[in-house]
Amino acid sequence: MPASGATPRRAIVEALLTDLHSSPVRVVAWERLEPWAIARVTLRGIAALPTVVVKWVRDGPGSTRTEPWRLPTEVAALRHLSDDLGLALAPRVLAADLSGGLVVLEDLAPRTALDLLLRRDGAAAHADRLAAFARARGELGASTAGHAGRYLLRRTSLGPEDPGSSGTALFARLRSRAPGQAAALGVPLSGRVATELDTVLIELSDPGPFGALSNGDAETNNVLVHESGAADARLIDFESAAYTHALLDAVCLHVPGPAWMTVGDPVATGLADLHRRALARGVPEAEDDRRYGTGLAAACLFWAISRLQRFGALDARVQGDPSRPQLIETLEAAARTAEHHRAFPHLAGWARRTAALLRHRWPDADLDLTDPAAFPPYTPRHP
């Protein structure tokens, strides 16, 4: 029987698929995939389509991610990939009722989220799946570069977009907020550091040939892989999709995201090169060491400075909270990436000084996260 609240959506799904296939389709099982507003639905009436995934906009009291632009953005992005570009990097949209706040997607099972496998088994057990993830992120950039106009036509036809989603808005907010916080911490963003920050934001705001589609959250929880066998990957969760600098999607390989204490050394593991080679197939400029290094360093430093905005919340937490050393590693990993590519030396030095200040302020967080024995790559932030 469908779960509570599923019955109206069940009727919409049946109507959509019946109309699409010109024959009766019935929902025989509705499995909510908590905590997301997603269900795996078993069907009767289409032999070639035994199950689908249904996604909807939350509407309950206290719900998050309720903004009406989310579903149209996902539909536009996924149809752009499959219908405009012929790509199989993400689930296909089978049907949608945007006024009803619901979309029916291809079911990618038995694939599972990569982050669950990493948490369970560790990164060493899933090197092939991490490699597939790195390639898929590069392939997304390579395949979508230069096609922003086609996506925008699709997206604007479906209604208003997120007013804060544009890169210009994101970068302007950071530029306005970061200097005050940095000054309060005792590491002012001034002089050559400020000049390099401006250059970083110009690079990211005007990506040129590196302009490509991103799903807006390039982390391992948003990629599905087979637990064994073929190490292909499919990207999911395009609610915040937008055309932006392709190397923002590479940050997750170099700098820890919210889930991880460290991501290790992607140069040594080969993940960095896998992503770069995949991207270069559609963005030849990625083969230019200077252009690639500048873009990647800019993306990593932007991410680190963005994460530093959490300082106040982390400073108020109890001693030993793992988010503290994670923030330090975020700053240091971004600095290492910039140093490796000989880009933004003053801003990289500022990131290292800020990390040193936090180590002194938080003695409990003064850890060596580069020690693979103590912190293997993709060590979860919360045990």
Query: pLDDT exceeding 70 applies to what percent of the chain?
Result: 96
The verdict on residue 2 lying in a domain is no
Cβ(131)–Cβ(274) under 8 Å? yes
Shared-domain flag, residues 173 and 283: yes
The verdict on residue 296 lying in a domain is yes
Shared-domain flag, residues 127 and 227: yes
Shared-domain flag, residues 120 and 90: no
The domain boundary, picked from 77, 106, 135, lies at 106
Shared-domain flag, residues 119 and 96: no
Shared-domain flag, residues 88 and 153: no
Digit-coded pLDDT (tens) for 66-101? 888 999 999 999 999 999 999 999 999 999 999 999
Shared-domain flag, residues 210 and 261: yes
Report the pLDDT value the prediction gives residue 382, as an integer from 0 to 100.
84
As a residue count, the chain comes to 383
Nearest to 71 by CA among 117, 23, 127, 12: 12
Domain that holds residue 96: 7-106
The verdict on residue 88 lying in a domain is yes
Q: Is a pLDDT exceeding 70 seen at residue 259?
A: yes
SS3 339: helix
CB burial of 150-189 (b: ≥16 within 10 Å; e: otherwise) equals ebeebbeebeebbeeeebeebbeebbeebbeebeebebeb
246: domain CATH number? 3.90.1200.10
Position with higher pLDDT, 25 vs 35: 25
The tally of domains found in the chain comes to 2
Report the pLDDT value the prediction gives residue 373, as an integer from 0 to 100.
92
Report the pLDDT value the prediction gives residue 313, as an integer from 0 to 100.
96
Shared-domain flag, residues 117 and 65: no
Mean pLDDT of 13-41: 95
Shared-domain flag, residues 69 and 187: no
Q: Is a pLDDT exceeding 90 seen at residue 31?
A: yes
Report the pLDDT value the prediction gives residue 160, as an integer from 0 to 100.
87
Report the pLDDT value the prediction gives residue 167, as an integer from 0 to 100.
66
Cβ(31)–Cβ(40) under 8 Å? yes
For the full predicted model, state whether its pTM sits above 0.85.
Answer: yes
Report the pLDDT value the prediction gives residue 133, as an integer from 0 to 100.
97
Confidence bin at 139 (pLDDT 50/70/90) = very high
Shared-domain flag, residues 59 and 182: no
Cβ(122)–Cβ(380) under 8 Å? no
Q: Which helix (H) or strand (E) holds 104?
A: strand 102-106
93: domain CATH number? 3.30.200.20
Shared-domain flag, residues 188 and 319: yes
Q: Of the given ranges (47-61, 314-328, 337-351, 366-380), which has the lowest mean pLDDT?
A: 47-61
Digit-coded pLDDT (tens) for 189-245? 999 999 999 999 999 999 999 999 999 999 999 999 999 877 789 999 999 999 999
Shared-domain flag, residues 102 and 116: no
Shared-domain flag, residues 236 and 184: yes
Mean pLDDT of 312-328: 96
Mean pLDDT of 14-30: 95
Digit-coded pLDDT (tens) for 288-318? 999 999 999 999 999 999 999 999 999 999 9
SS3 12: helix
Report the pLDDT value the prediction gives residue 95, as an integer from 0 to 100.
97
Q: Which helix (H) or strand (E) holds 311?
A: helix 311-315
